[in-house]
Structure 1
Amino acid sequence: MPKLLKTHFLPPRSGTIGPDDITVVTDILRASSVIVAALAAGVKCVRPFLEIEEAIEAARHDAAPLLCGERTGIKVPGFDLGNSPGEFTPERCRGRTAFMTTTNGTRAILAATSAKLVKILAFTNMTATVESLKDFEGTVHLVCSGTDGYVSWEDSLACGMAAELLESSGFEATDDTTRIAISAYRHELDGMKITDPDFRPKLGQVLRKGRGGRRVREIGLEKDIDEVARLDDFAILCHVEADPWRIVAS
């Protein structure tokens, strides 16, 4: 069976992803980066919700809930945490269930669940995620969450990086979107190797160029950009399970 890559700059329409495919969802600023950080810090799982009220209601039935998320980038009033990776420490997270709702990321994750497996991608778990896909035969969809229905700079770069790494493992790009994402990543990172000690600072600079990076800076959370640019901070895999929908580490 051929190993194929498809990239979606925005969450795809219903019916686009087949039941035998794998979907990899990213929302670099900041939901997927937070999910990786939360699971690495010891939460039992992250439960994604579309609406604030849904998350609050579900959390009422949990003995140790951790309500987290944002609207327009800002922490939801009354929630325990916002959407900054650095907030998710072992002291706050260990043994708890995170109930999460965000403007874009949780929506993209829930929209991708027609695939047989949904993985969560961030720069902070890039290599681990790519390595876990190398032996898969079939179609892998790289899905950007976007921002309010618009293409997201940082998500596109993450998918470009993942696609380039997967191509070296025998995957074939089947669409121009993947080629565009790879080209943007290569151009912006100047062909730097990920082992280069200057890679993380360079990535942080590049992420600041996009609309999402500018927005994070405007609301006083510029440190989050450097947090999400910490390439391969975690050797952790994150995937979605059903009944109820939840994201767990593997």
Structure 2
Amino acid sequence: MIVEVQILPLLQGAKEATGLAVIIDVFRAFSLEAYMQDKGAKVIFPVQKIEDAFGLKKRYPEAILVGERNGIKVAGFDYGNSPSELIYQDLRDKIIIHTTSAGVQGLINAKKADEIVTGALVNAKATVSYIQQKNHRHVSIVPMGWNGERMSEEDNLCANYLLALLKGEDYPSLEEEIQALKQSEGKKFFDSTMPQFPQEDFALCTNVNYFQGVNKAIWKDNQYQMVWEKMS
């Protein structure tokens, strides 16, 4: 039975998170991971540092490097952090090594949490269903914002939506708030001078409850890996 739910923002919030931690990154890390899981990825390894990614690549030379810094694809990586890049790729049985500026940083730093799942609009209801089935008395919701340093509207929206679902409340302004993102944090997806943020990514990241699964971080062999559990 859930006794307490807290919203703990940004990287500092991730470090403080206890119980079951929901690390939110709507634009784009954990939306992307849901799409990669759906495309049949064998395993996704989230790593904190770029050098960690290249190091793990030596262990798994067949792995695909995916990630960004400040929204821009890391030099030497196969893909950036863009769902619209990956949904057209055959990821069946592929090993993915993933590093980002916000979401993955929060996940790696949630060291006090008993369990970690990711948060995104694309699988919000499924994530809440999973949380409600667990016996954690405390839930920490962590909107990571921009680079884990600045609050962002889309992650705050997701946090508030998850909180409402956990309380069994309606969230009637959801679609209105999603549309408003086009004039705030989502504006970059409609700016032709910022090709690292394709317009299609906005729609893919705000495709609410498209997936019926939860994305869990499991510690195994001294490395986090993401496991996708389908919810009925």
Residues 203-222 of structure 1 aligned to structure 2 (within 5 Å): 204-211=178-185, 213-218=186-191, 219-220=194-195, 221-222=198-199
2:142 is aligned to: 143
CA offset at residue 232 of structure 1? 1.4
CA offset at residue 116 of structure 1? 1.3
Q: Number of matched residues? A: 221
Q: Give the RMSD, CA atoms, in angstroms.
A: 2.2
Question: Does the alignment pair 1:241 with 2:218?
Answer: yes
CA offset at residue 133 of structure 1? 1.2
2:91 is aligned to: 93
In 2: Cα distance, 1:17 partner to 1:127 partner: 21
1:232 is aligned to: 209
SS in 2 for 1:35: helix
2:128 is aligned to: 130
In 1: Cα distance, 2:187 partner to 2:58 partner: 35
In 1: Cα distance, 2:110 partner to 2:44 partner: 16
SS in 1 for 2:223: coil
Give TM-score scaled by structure 2 length.
Answer: 0.86
**CA separation of 1:93/1:14 partners in 2, compared to 1, >3 Å: closer, same or farther?**
closer
Give TM-score scaled by structure 1 length.
Answer: 0.80
CA offset at residue 87 of structure 1? 2.2
1:45 is aligned to: 43
In 2: Cα distance, 1:92 partner to 1:81 partner: 13
Residues 95-114 of structure 1 aligned to structure 2 (within 5 Å): 95-114=93-112
In 2: Cα distance, 1:94 partner to 1:105 partner: 24
Summarize deviations over 1:157-196 as a string: whole Å, max 9, x none. Answer: 0010000010118xxxxxxxxxxxx9xxx5xxxx25x7xx
Which stretches in structure 1 are left out of the alignment for 5+ residues? 170-181
**CA separation of 1:53/1:114 partners in 2, compared to 1, >3 Å: closer, same or farther?**
same
Which stretches in structure 2 are left out of the alignment for 5+ residues? none
Summarize deviations over 1:28-75 as a string: whole Å, max 9, x none. Answer: 000111111111111122111222121012112115201001111121
Question: Does the alignment pair 1:159 with 2:159?
Answer: yes
| C-alpha contact (below 8 Å) 2:17/2:142 kept by paired residues | no
CA offset at residue 92 of structure 1? 2.8
1:66 to 60, 64, 67: 64
**Percentage of matched positions with identical amino acids:** 25
SS in 2 for 1:100: strand
SS in 2 for 1:113: coil
